[in-house]
Homo-oligomer: A and B are copies of this chain.
Amino acid sequence: MSAYRELEGRFRRMAALGEAAGMLHWDMSVLMPPGGVPARTEQLTALKLTTHEMKTAPDLADLLDAAAEEILEGPWQIANLAEMRRSWVHANAVDAGLVEAMTRAGSACEMVWREARPENDYARVLPYLKEVLNLSRQAASAKAAALGCSAYEALLDQYEAGGRTERIDALFADLADFLPDFLETALSKQVARGEAVKPAGPFDTNIQRDLGRKLMGVLGFDFDAGRLDVSLHPFCGGVPGDIRITTRYTEDDFTQSLMGVLHETGHALYEMGLPEDWHYQPVGSARGMALHESQSLLIEMQACRSREYLEFAAPLMRDAFGGSGPEWEVENLYRLYTHVERSFIRVDADEVTYPAHVILRYRLERALIGGDLALAELPGAWNDGMEELLGVRPPDDRLGCLQDIHWYDGAWGYFPTYTMGAMAAAQLFAAAKAAHPDIPERISRGDFTPLVGWMRKNLHAKGSSASTDELLETATGKPLGTDDFKAHLQARYG
């Protein structure tokens, strides 16, 4: 057997074990009783260690070297081998002791953070966060040496393969230049057209669920190959063939859950459309977090907050909740779903202000990883940054640097992918509409086949067979840029 084939067998096994762990994570978030925690931890640890041992087995390195000398069958195998190598580098650059210390420090810090946040007590979590940052910096250095990039880029590479700060700096600088004035314009326009009125609840959660399921079906979500459930933090889990998204319901507002469902359905469609033949190989995975987020934002933001979509969905909402009156009219709902506001919390932010939240975090985490900012100075730097980028100053750390779990949990280098995803969403939507100019009109009739079909062919089915920029270039004619995103904001809010 060729070394490459042997590698395929090993990575297939690792992928299947990883998927088993994924399903167990889903179960833990959705329905596991509290008494299951110790056993589940034991199961997940066993799976993680087993996969780690497979990935750090000495002969795997030999196989990778041997496969590099073999003649492979076409570009998919070549791309697959490159992804195997990348995965190998991430697993082997950091020794087992450091990995374990990071897991332990991340868990401990996250636990303290869960209490420190509501108590607005940054000082309490600070020593734990210091430990997490310290270990992350060690891992970053080790990986940077192996990958031939900067420490920050080595962290970013875990979520966005080949991501480079030079590119991101340029993209974000462009947005940071454009957005402040644009936000003023959008806010003035919003004042001029008058406030939207929120439909009043209570909204039965079973009806919310049924409406969500119906709208998922409209998007092409196949309930024979997936589920919708409830969890505290909505997410998209499961595996191709069995994609499981979650949401949570509140009786006084159906929009929150519904928009969440549409967002996660975007993620789900990407997973459902990955190349089946490469399901258990690295090249068969979604390309990275930027493009993954592009698919959720494509559905939630680009498509489902459009006036066309609301022309289709508003009658269904009215029917579901027995709503009538002006607050249920398309125009009002459209204003509601495109409301812009300077706010402190990222996850509640709208399309126009969201990039400022991300740019702030990106700047801060680069400075922290680079050693240019001390954690003790983080709250002040955060608040200064908010003032500079968004014109508001958080009154406390709960609304400031304590709000996101990412750093406390050890996920450094993740934040930029949100806004890269927003830009990619606009770019892909524009390209899809250029190819199928009837997409908006079809959406207004609840027909997503041209949009989702184009996306499947031009993105989903390509897995990780090329880089993010290459995939975008093939699909849209250009690498990731800000033009379509700015044009989208102009059209909707300008």
Q: A13-B49, A50-B50 are in contact. Are A23 and B43 (CB under 8 A)?
A: yes
A227 interface neighbour in B33, B45, B223, Cβ under 8 Å: B33
Give the most central of A19, A34, A46, A225: most B CB within 10 Å: A46
**CA distance in complex: A239, B24 (Å):** 13
Chain B residues near A34: list those with CB within 8 A. 224-225
In this assembly, does A204 line the interface, its C-beta being within 8 Å of a C-beta of chain B?
A: no
In this assembly, does A27 line the interface, its C-beta being within 8 Å of a C-beta of chain B?
A: yes
Within A32-70, the residues touching B (CB, 8 Å) are: 32-40, 42-47, 49-50
In this assembly, does A93 line the interface, its C-beta being within 8 Å of a C-beta of chain B?
A: no
Give the most central of A20, A21, A23, A45: most B CB within 10 Å: A20
In this assembly, does A226 line the interface, its C-beta being within 8 Å of a C-beta of chain B?
A: yes
Asked if A46 and B33 sit within 8 Å, CB to CB, the answer is no
A16 interface neighbour in B17, B35, B42, Cβ under 8 Å: B42
Scoring A residues 215 to 249 as 1 if CB is less than 8 Å from chain B, else 0, what string do you get?
A: 00000001111110000000000111110000000
In this assembly, does A280 line the interface, its C-beta being within 8 Å of a C-beta of chain B?
A: yes
In this assembly, does A1 line the interface, its C-beta being within 8 Å of a C-beta of chain B?
A: no
Asked if B27 and A43 sit within 8 Å, CB to CB, the answer is no
Asked if B20 and A239 sit within 8 Å, CB to CB, the answer is no
Chain B residues near A19: list those with CB within 8 A. 39, 42-43
Asked if A17 and B227 sit within 8 Å, CB to CB, the answer is no
Q: How far is the CB of A306 from chain B (nearest CB, A)?
A: 30
How many copies of this chain does one complex carry?
A: 2
Q: A36-B242, A39-B240, A241-B39 are in contact. Are A24 and B20 (CB under 8 A)?
A: yes
Within A1-33, the residues touching B (CB, 8 Å) are: 12-13, 16-17, 19-21, 23-24, 27, 31-33
Asked if A17 and B31 sit within 8 Å, CB to CB, the answer is no
Asked if A38 and B241 sit within 8 Å, CB to CB, the answer is yes
Give the most central of A27, A42, A225, A240: most B CB within 10 Å: A42
Give the most central of A24, A34, A36, A239: most B CB within 10 Å: A36
For this complex, into which size category does the number of interface residues on chain A fall? 35 or more
**CA distance in complex: A50, B36 (Å):** 23
Q: How far is the CB of A41 from chain B (nearest CB, A)?
A: 9
Q: How far is the CB of A173 from chain B (nearest CB, A)?
A: 43
**CA distance in complex: A414, B324 (Å):** 64
Within A180-225, the residues touching B (CB, 8 Å) are: 222-225
Asked if A227 and B31 sit within 8 Å, CB to CB, the answer is yes
Q: A13-B50, A47-B17, A50-B50 are in contact. Are A239 and B23 (CB under 8 A)?
A: no
**CA distance in complex: A225, B37 (Å):** 9
**CA distance in complex: A238, B43 (Å):** 12
Nearest opposing residue in chain B for A22, CB measure: B43
Within A362-400, the residues touching B (CB, 8 Å) are: none
Q: How far is the CB of A216 from chain B (nearest CB, A)?
A: 13
**CA distance in complex: A80, B42 (Å):** 20
Q: How far is the CB of A284 from chain B (nearest CB, A)?
A: 12
Q: How far is the CB of A436 from chain B (nearest CB, A)?
A: 28
Chain B residues near A35: list those with CB within 8 A. 222, 224-226, 241-242
Nearest opposing residue in chain B for A38, CB measure: B241
Q: Which residues of A contact B (CB under 8 A)?
A: 12-13, 16-17, 19-21, 23-24, 27, 31-40, 42-47, 49-50, 222-227, 238-242, 279-280
24 of the cross-chain contacts (CB-CB < 8 Å) are A16-B45, A17-B46, A19-B39, A19-B42, A20-B20, A20-B24, A20-B44, A23-B27, A24-B24, A33-B225, A33-B226, A34-B224, A34-B225, A35-B224, A35-B225, A35-B226, A35-B241, A36-B225, A36-B239, A36-B241, A36-B242, A37-B241, A39-B242, A42-B280
Q: A12-B42, A23-B27, A35-B242 are in contact. List 10 more A-B contacts (CB 8 A).
A: A13-B49, A13-B50, A16-B43, A19-B42, A20-B20, A20-B43, A33-B225, A39-B239, A39-B240, A42-B280
